[in-house]
Structure 1
Amino acid sequence: MDLIDSHAHVDSEKYDGDRDEVIARARQSGVSRIVAVGQWQGPGDFGGAHALAKAHPGYFFATIGIHPHEVANVPEEDWLELERLAALPETIAIGETGLDYFYEHSPREEQRKWFRHQLELASRLGKPVVIHTRDADDDTFEILRDMTPKAGVIHCFTGGPERARAYLDLGLYLSVPGVVTFKNAEPLREAVRAAPLDRLLIETDCPYLAPIPHRGKRNEPAFVRIVAETIAELKGLPVEEVAAATTSNAMELFRLG
């Protein structure tokens, strides 16, 4: 099968001891491409997503963004650096960006301000946007309705059918994480059953949210195959069809052709 992990943090220090082995296992599992999500880590530091893309051309593809947790801490010069990095031809998308009211590491008003800023940047550059939302769906939806991006994905979607339909009606994709395998995720499974296959992506969000039977352990891109298998089971489809569709969707969204 040909699978794309549409959201991974393989530059995380959690892989510093065995990153090459993690990449090898992903290839062996049928993962043909990985979207490496570049994130601001601290002053002057935007992480290692672009380094991965440079070291593994045609396999890793880099995004760049500033997470809602961090927006209140970013110096002005790094917002300017974001603009520079975002404009690079090798940057395939802006994000992840969005709202997170679960932890509120940054004040809500700051989150909304800089979410809008990054949506505007994506629109200006003609690039898709990778959207994070946690306990903030109402405000996320309102901002997206006002500033509907030309292309984008709700990453790590865990909502139910009603919320899925609202985002789909805005023209967005939904990216399904390993949470879909959890016993308490029936609303998400209902959403997956109802959502058109041509609007779904699959992701690990590794090193977080490992699917069953790996729950509680470090996640890795090889496990995205489990997400594809679970979607196939929920929809009553061959896993090869789910793999082909989600790969095609990711290729179209991120223009990986």
Structure 2
Amino acid sequence: MTDAPEITDSHCHLDFPDFDGEIAEIIARAAEAGVTRMVTICTRTDREPMVRALAEAHDPVFYAAGVHPMRVAEEPLIETDRLIAFTRHPKMVGIGETGLDYHYTADSAEAQQVSLRRHIEAARETGLPLIIHARDADADMARILTEEHRNGAYSCVMHCFSSSAELARAALDLGFYLSMSGITAFPKSQELRDIFAAAPLDRILVETDSPYLAPPPKRGKRNEPAYTAHTARRAAETFGLDYADFAARTQDNFERLFAKVAAYEAAA
């Protein structure tokens, strides 16, 4: 039992080999830090059964599924109907992560854009939030998100947001959410913190993206859901709030965006 304010790790990767054999301990450490639930993200379709099994085996774990943009060229383009089929599971709560990554995989940009639009269609049809990865593709990302929103509204979180103020504004103007990762706690990330500080507080989530991007004082180590608390404490300072207030606000935000989680917990 812990007296720590409750928060949610809205994006982690518990199926990655970094965590093999440690899931129960990782969840226990998260609970001790106040991280009482987490969304683990499937980034390739052949691992969806494994990610689903993690959610089935552990009460605090929910999951999302999609094809990461850096993996688009490695498998056939996913069909929207297949993404929608995944959502029939009661603990499958988001579409993605999807998006555009031109930093390492610009050669597959066209296929990434097709994949992104199919994920958007699935999010629109199911009402589940889209989970976006964006790297070195701000102009195309803003254009596609805006074009598709004109075709029909959908909800979305810009996961691990570390892009430009222009992309942040485009996303916020569409009613989307921005998620703060450990990057926002790095000493040299003041410009990024300024972008978040200018955003509406009711559109902010927190995450680890673990096993990557551990925040201080754990920087350089393997990240894990418990460390969401470190990111959130620094984020509270960015918004001029005490930690308990910030944690409560992000919980409300998460439950508004990931409404399927709240509904699942209410029915449990």
TM-score (norm 2): 0.89
The correspondence for 2:216, drawn from 212, 215, 224, is 212
> Which structure has more helix as a fraction of its residues?
2
Q: Answer with 94-103 or 178-187: which moved more.
A: 178-187
1:196 match: 200
2-structure distance, mates of 1:122, 1:133: 17
1-structure distance, mates of 2:106, 2:173: 30
SS at structure 2 position matched to 1:175: strand
2-structure distance, mates of 1:132, 1:77: 17
1:174 match: 178
Gaps of 5+ in 1: none
Q: Give CA-to-partner distance per residue, 1:125-155, whole Å, 9 cap, x none.
A: 2221101101111111100001125211000
Identity in percent: 43
Q: Does 1:127 align with 2:120?
A: no
Q: Does 1:25 align with 2:29?
A: yes
Q: Between Structure 1 and Structure 2, how many residues are aligned?
A: 254
Q: Give CA-to-partner distance per residue, 1:172-219, whole Å, 9 cap, x none.
A: 000000001112212211012211111100000000000012111100
1:81-160 alignment, distance < 5 Å: 81-104=82-105, 107-148=108-149, 149-160=153-164
Cα-Cα RMSD = 1.8
SS at structure 1 position matched to 2:220: coil
TM-score (norm 1): 0.93
Instruction: Tell me the amino acid that sits aligned with residue 194 of structure 1.
Output: A
Gaps of 5+ in 2: 263-268
Would the aligned equivalents of 1:40 and 1:47 in 2 still touch at CA under 8 Å? no
Moved over 4 A (4+): 76-81
SS at structure 2 position matched to 1:48: helix
2-structure distance, mates of 1:102, 1:206: 20
Would the aligned equivalents of 1:11 and 1:47 in 2 still touch at CA under 8 Å? no
In the TM superposition, what is the alpha-carbon distance from 1:238 to its structure 2 partner? 0.6
1-structure distance, mates of 2:81, 2:124: 17
1:9-48 alignment, distance < 5 Å: 9-40=13-44, 44-46=46-48, 48=50
In the TM superposition, what is the alpha-carbon distance from 1:119 to its structure 2 partner? 0.6
Instruction: Tell me the amino acid that sits aligned with residue 247 of structure 1.
Output: Q
